[in-house]
Amino acid sequence: MNAEMLAWQVRRPGPIATEPLRRVRLPVPEPGSRELLVRVLACGVCRTDLHVAEGDLAPHRPNVVPGHEIVGEVVGLGEQSDTDFRVGDRVGIPWLRHTCGTCRYCRRGNENLCPGSLYTGWDADGGYAEFAVVPAAYALALPAGYTDAELAPLLCAGIIGYRSLQRAELPTGGRLGLYGFGGSAHITAQVALAQGAEVHVMTRGRDAQLLALELGASSAQGAADAPPVALDAAILFAPVGELVAPALVALDRGGTLAIAGIHLTDIPALSYQRHLFQERQIRSVTANTRADSRAFLDFAAVHRLHLTGPRYDLQHADRALADLAAGHITGAAVLLP
């Protein structure tokens, strides 16, 4: 294919005000062996994209095209692509795009911890473009009943929130606290509510608080405010280390705080007696497995999730990231080529 496509590259990682993204014309990629070529129909705007653009995550590939919540149509198959996907199928391209399959982590079912793992929009070009390629073994079948724009945030925000909920070990019917209420949290809240949890939200911004209440949260207050009840579990979505202490204080005895982000600012000193005693614990969340992805998308096929957030033309991807950095986005933003 000799055609060109519109794409955005991270030319010089730095604060979003320095315009680290550049709009360019690139050749449409060719699918390699065991890869799919996908025409991008929608791509979610994830905070991880912002971390890549601003350099919070060290660059893995010069001039990378960010974006890893990709909904696309298969338009080509590389050689030796032994896959059930066919030209014309709608597929998802998520963050995780390669693991070695042989290390001790992969062998025991923890491929998310594979030292040789690679990621879309960080190690390989992603979905801030009109076309993308993906290893067929890491492409995802998508549930029916959702638009392209609704599906895109499910492919990272939804999957990571689902894994974070597992890591938080919320007991049946328990009280869950969510710190930050962006793209991932507004999906995770719905999953928890569908499972019978009581949800309390701590977040900045009145619009986000109102959305939490509209979706069924029992309370919504400021980011560092105390919830009205002791929490059985909590998930920190905001990349703000200073929120770890108030989240731990809000936990009941035996409660777990899961930290969902790939990047977090430094955590201030904690007091063992005040924050950790009585078997409170902190657990990190590192990427996800393909099994997590399939389980979550199966859940989404049965439980209709409400996805909200602004839509941007691909031409304005830089504006979408700037709005995300400024806290102007409620829900999950999506790029539409």
Q: Which CATH number does the domain housing residue 272 bear?
A: 3.40.50.720
Q: pLDDT tier at 141 (50, 70, 90 boundaries)?
A: very high
Average pLDDT over residues 9-38: 97
Residues 79 and 30: their CA atoms lie apart, in Å, by 11
Average pLDDT over residues 41-61: 97
Q: Could you tell me if 150 and 137 lie in one domain? A: yes
Q: Could you tell me if 38 and 113 lie in one domain? A: yes
Q: Could you tell me if 137 and 166 lie in one domain? A: no
Q: Are 99 and 149 in contact (CB under 8 A)?
A: no
pLDDT tens figures, 285-303: 999 999 999 999 999 999 9
Look at residue 21 in the predicted model and tell me its pLDDT.
98
pLDDT tens figures, 57-87: 999 999 999 999 999 999 999 988 778 999 9
Question: Burial of 276 by CB count in 10 Å (0-12 exposed, 13-18 middle, 19+ buried)?
Answer: middle
> Which is higher by pLDDT, 79 or 212?
212
Residues 162 and 185: their CA atoms lie apart, in Å, by 10
Q: Could you tell me if 172 and 145 lie in one domain? A: no
Residues 333 and 321: their CA atoms lie apart, in Å, by 9
Domain ranges, residue 191:
159-284
Q: Is position 58 within any domain?
A: yes
Q: Could you tell me if 207 and 256 lie in one domain? A: yes
Q: Are 84 and 68 in contact (CB under 8 A)?
A: no
Q: Are 109 and 289 in contact (CB under 8 A)?
A: yes
Q: Which CATH number does the domain housing residue 20 bear?
A: 3.90.180.10
The CA-CA-CA angle for residues 92, 94, 97, to 5°, reads: 115
Residues 197 and 170: their CA atoms lie apart, in Å, by 8
Average pLDDT over residues 209-228: 98
Q: Is position 298 within any domain?
A: no
Q: Could you tell me if 67 and 202 lie in one domain? A: no
pTM of the model: 0.95
Q: Could you tell me if 275 and 174 lie in one domain? A: yes
Q: Is position 297 within any domain?
A: no
Which residues in 278-295 are b (16+ Cβ under 10 Å) and which e?
A: eebebeebebbbbebbeb
Q: Could you tell me if 70 and 146 lie in one domain? A: yes
Look at residue 307 in the predicted model and tell me its pLDDT.
97
Q: Is position 242 within any domain?
A: yes
pLDDT tens figures, 248-271: 999 999 999 999 999 999 999 999
The CA-CA-CA angle for residues 105, 107, 108, to 5°, reads: 70
Q: Is position 292 within any domain?
A: no
Six-digit token pair at 148?
A: 């392209």
Q: Is position 78 within any domain?
A: yes
Q: Could you tell me if 57 and 124 lie in one domain? A: yes
**At 26, phi and psi to the nearest 5?**
-125, 155
Q: Is position 295 within any domain?
A: no
Residues 172 and 227: their CA atoms lie apart, in Å, by 19
pLDDT at residue 2 above 70? no
Q: Could you tell me if 186 and 215 lie in one domain? A: yes
> Based on the structure, what is the number of domains in the chain?
2
Q: Could you tell me if 178 and 239 lie in one domain? A: yes
Look at residue 80 in the predicted model and tell me its pLDDT.
81
Amino acid residing at 153: P
Q: pLDDT tier at 178 (50, 70, 90 boundaries)?
A: very high
Q: Could you tell me if 17 and 142 lie in one domain? A: yes
Six-digit token pair at 72?
A: 């696309």
